[in-house]
């Protein structure tokens, strides 16, 4: 089937893989996302990051889901062939920057294995290797024609700054600008401070020069042992942080509150803006990375992105990277496309992670679809800045390290479903992911049938042999093995399906760069059909999915010029049209078909 699919795809257009990797557009890629600590251990000497002592000092405990397990950049580099065999053309690497090894109060400690608790923005975390190891990863990926996207953070650093009023408690209640204005210490009745400071919405160097005392809401301080722990050195000054306590994730606090105790950078300050431009521009200059995924992007003020994004694109252009891909994490668990799109309009982010498509696919394969879900999704593309031209380069996904794995939610929604049915539903979801518009983004382990126990730490299993009991007791899909042994085989049914669909996609311009038209849909489980069109020839590729547990036969509208069809993958479009503009589609339960429509010359 794979050979046939490849041959037919080549008839439709020029393979995207034949292009030099720098020339590929963002929408030409299939992205593979991983956390280095959970992927492969290539060097056991760095497991403890050069630190001495137990787990609460080094952060290393391969038996605990919230600590370092030993994966590193050397291990990832050695597994590039595995990722490429899956059909991925770009790798999104979880944050590699040096982290605070352990955070949290007594009994609640965990480690920075995930990479989001940064202390040094200029070097690789020693648990993951060295800057030289990162360079080797990028160079070897490029040599294979693969891109490397860095996961970056500008919203916050590690939790270093403390507040005297909190007595060491992490959960410090947010204190608003109205109740705790910048020109008073500790509330409206406090002593006058910061005379002439006009607030963080006047984002000029002159205004921020008047902000000299950070004790307007809380009294921040840095413990002596950590006074110089952050790099670059300017990050050690509390003046460059909001210092207002924990965000409630709504209203004002969404951009000015601490993210679960993490030190929230005052990204309104021009010094912080330039500092972050310098930091991340240097990673582009030194290593030639191909893009950034931006963590917690919705929790940063729009003006920051309006300055940061053009600066990064300019640095990439100067480095000879014409298609630098930037996309932000703006997490909304809904089909409200407008909530996503506003960040491309107001913040002027080039792209965002497409949570709405994830929601539509999840609803479809769990038989819990909301009314007109696919209409909302496809019509919503016009809301993005630039419309469909932006929508087509949004990374789409069904699982990730924060939201959890698709298979977990399928099992949760359908507890009576057999493992075979759950596997079929997960395969259907990946067929949607790899053929619909956007940039399909695969989460490491999904291709091996990983299920997880929920989100966050419960969905961050090891690809190498795991020692975590709550991972190893999971019942995987499509295999009798567990995560207690390495998971890099290439014979898993999900691996084979994803590899086949990935290669079909990257060789079929209609599926990478083509426009998309909704052909048929239902609020109940049943047929979903869409057409994708080759941007150069106009050739139509029909996508048909059956989300019901019964076979279906339906007429589907197509372009009037087509007379025959060839099924590229799955089954089953009729070989000939029923009439001009209509074709019979017969799909098995939870089945799908991708069909090339032929117009006689």
- 211 and 110 in a common domain: no
Q: List C-alpha distances in Å: 254 to 224, 297, 402.
A: 30, 11, 18
Residues 6+ apart with CB under 8 A from 268: 200, 201, 203, 208, 301, 303, 304
Tally of CB atoms within 10 A around 229: 17
- DSSP letter string, 247-292: --SSTTHHHHSBBTTB-BB-TTSHHHHHHHHHHHHHHHHHH---EE
Helices (H) and strands (E) in the chain, counts: 18, 20
Give the rounded percent of residues in the chain with a pLDDT score beyond 90: 95
* DSSP code of residue 241: B
Pairing between strand 110-111 and 162-163? Answer: unpaired
My answer on whether 185 and 132 are in the same domain is no
> What CA–CA distance (Å, rounded) separates 58 from 50?
8
Tell me the DSSP string of 293-325: EETTGGGS-HHHHHHHHHHHHHHHHHTT-TT-E
In a domain, 20, yes or no: no
* DSSP one-letter code for 514: -
Q: Among residues 427, 401, 423, 402, which one has the least CA distance to residue 414?
A: 423
By CB atoms closer than 10 A (0-12, 13-18, 19+), residue 213 is middle
Give the end of a domain, one of 239, 266, 293: 266
Tokens of 6: 């490849």
Q: What phi and psi, each to the nearest 5 degrees, are found at residue 22?
A: -70, -25
278 shares a domain with 252: no
In a domain, 18, yes or no: no
538, 403: one domain:
no
Length of the chain measured in residues:
601
Last residue of a domain, one of 488, 505, 522: 505
| DSSP class of 397 | E
Active-site choice (268, 295, 500, 540) = 295
In terms of domains, do 279 and 227 share one?
Answer: no
Q: Please name the residue that has the structure tokens 């000879």.
A: 320
User: Residues 493, 380: one domain?
Assistant: yes
CA-CA distance, 94 to 295, in Å (whole number)? 10
The tokens for 293 are 């995924």
Tell me the pTM. Answer: 0.96
Of 61, 200, 329, 462, the active-site residue reads: 329
How many domains would you assign to the chain? Answer: 3
Give the Cα separation of 444 and 441 in Å (integer).
10
Q: What letter does residue 370 receive in the DSSP assignment?
A: P
Q: What is the DSSP string of 460-494?
A: ---SSPP--HHHHTS--SS-S--TTS----S-SHH
In-domain check, residue 561: yes
Which of 101, 104, 118 shows the shortest CA–CA distance to 153? 118
Q: What is the pLDDT of residue 167?
A: 77
pLDDT of the residue at 577: 98
What residues contact residue 594 under an 8 Å CB cut-off, 6+ apart?
A: 431, 435, 504, 511, 541, 542, 543, 544, 567, 568, 569, 570
- Residue 223 forms part of a structural domain: yes
Give the span between the Cα atoms of 588 and 593, in whole angstroms.
Answer: 10
Annotated catalytic residue 264: no
**Rounded distance, CA 243 to CA 463, Å?**
38
Distance CA 325, CA 277 (A): 16
Lookup result for tokens 């496309």: 337
375 given a catalytic annotation: no
Same domain, 139 and 185: no
Last residue of a domain, one of 222, 250, 266: 266
In tens, the pLDDT along 160-205 reads 999 999 976 557 999 999 999 999 999 999 999 999 999 999 999 9
**Which structural domain, as residue segments, surrounds residue 280?**
27-158+272-505
pLDDT, mean of each 10-residue run, the chain (601 residues): 38 46 97 98 98 98 98 98 98 98 94 98 98 98 98 98 83 94 98 98 98 98 97 98 96 96 98 98 98 98 98 98 98 95 98 98 96 96 98 98 97 98 98 98 98 97 98 98 98 98 98 98 96 97 98 98 97 96 98 97 84
Whole-number pLDDT of residue 170: 59
- Are both 165 and 146 inside the same structural domain? no
The proportion of the chain whose per-residue pLDDT surpasses 70, expressed as a percent, equals 96
């Amino acid at each position: 089937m794979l050979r046939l699919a490849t041959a037919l795809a080549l008839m439709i257009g020029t393979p995207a893989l034949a292009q030099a990797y720098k020339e590929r557009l963002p929408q030409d890629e299939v992205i593979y996302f991983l956390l280095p600590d959970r992927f492969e251990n290539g060097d056991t000497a760095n497991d403890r990051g050069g630190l001495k002592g137990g787990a609460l000092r080094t952060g290393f405990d391969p038996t605990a889901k919230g600590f370092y397990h030993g994966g590193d950049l050397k291990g990832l580099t050695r597994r590039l062939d595995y990722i490429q065999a899956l059909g991925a053309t770009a790798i999104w690497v979880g944050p590699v920057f040096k982290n605070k090894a352990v955070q949290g109060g007594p009994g609640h400690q965990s480690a920075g294995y995930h990479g989001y608790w940064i202390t040094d923005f200029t070097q690789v975390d020693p648990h993951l290797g060295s800057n030289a190891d990162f360079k080797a990863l990028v160079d070897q990926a490029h040599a294979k024609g693969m891109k490397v996207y860095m996961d970056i953070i500008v919203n916050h650093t590690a939790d270093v700054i403390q507040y005297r009023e909190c007595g060491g408690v992490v959960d410090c209640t947010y204190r608003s600008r109205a109740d705790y204005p910048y020109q008073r210490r500790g509330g409206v009745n406090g002593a006058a401070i910061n005379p002439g400071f006009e607030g963080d919405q006047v984002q000029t160097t002159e205004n921020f020069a008047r902000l000299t005392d950070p004790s307007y809401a809380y009294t921040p301080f840095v413990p002596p042992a950590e006074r110089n722990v952050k790099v670059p050195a300017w990050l050690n000054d509390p003046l460059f942080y909001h210092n207002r306590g924990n965000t409630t994730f709504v209203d004002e606090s969404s951009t000015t509150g601490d993210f679960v105790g993490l030190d929230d950078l005052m990204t309104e300050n021009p010094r912080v803006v330039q500092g972050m431009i310098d930091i991340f521009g240097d990673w582009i200059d030194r290593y030639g990375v191909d893009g950034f995924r931006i963590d917690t992007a919705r929790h940063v003020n729009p003006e920051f992105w309006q300055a940061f994004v053009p600066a990064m694109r300019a640095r990439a252009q100067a480095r000879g990277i014409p298609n630098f891909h930037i996309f932000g994490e703006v997490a909304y668990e809904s089909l409200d496309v407008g909530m996503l799109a506003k960040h491309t309009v107001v913040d002027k982010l080039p792209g965002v992670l497409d949570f709405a498509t994830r929601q539509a696919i999840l609803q479809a394969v769990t038989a819990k679809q909301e009314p007109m879900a696919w209409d909302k999704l496809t019509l919503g593309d016009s809301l993005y800045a630039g419309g469909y031209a932006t929508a087509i380069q949004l990374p789409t996904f069904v699982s990730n390290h924060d939201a959890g794995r698709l298979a977990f939610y399928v099992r949760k929604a359908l507890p009576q479903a057999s493992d075979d049915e759950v596997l079929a539903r997960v395969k259907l979801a990946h067929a949607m992911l790899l053929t619909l518009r956007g940039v399909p983004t695969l989460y490491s382990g999904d291709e091996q049938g990983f299920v997880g126990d929920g989100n966050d730490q419960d969905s961050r299993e090891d690809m190498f042999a795991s020692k975590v009991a709550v991972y190893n007791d999971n019942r995987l899909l499509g295999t009798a093995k567990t995560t207690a042994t390495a998971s890099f085989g290439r014979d898993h049914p999900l691996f084979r399906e994803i590899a086949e669909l990935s290669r079909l996609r990257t060789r079929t311009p209609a599926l990478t760069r083509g426009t998309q038209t909704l052909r048929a849909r239902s609020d109940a489980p049943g047929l979903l059909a869409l057409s994708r069109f080759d941007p150069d020839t106009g050739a139509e590729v029909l996508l048909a999915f059956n989300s019901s547990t019964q076979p279906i036969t339906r007429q589907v509208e197509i372009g009037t010029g087509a007379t025959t069809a060839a099924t590229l993958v799955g089954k089953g479009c009729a070989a000939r049209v029923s009439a001009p503009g209509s074709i019979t589609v017969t799909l098995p339960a939870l089945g799908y078909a991708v069909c090339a429509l032929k117009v006689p010359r």
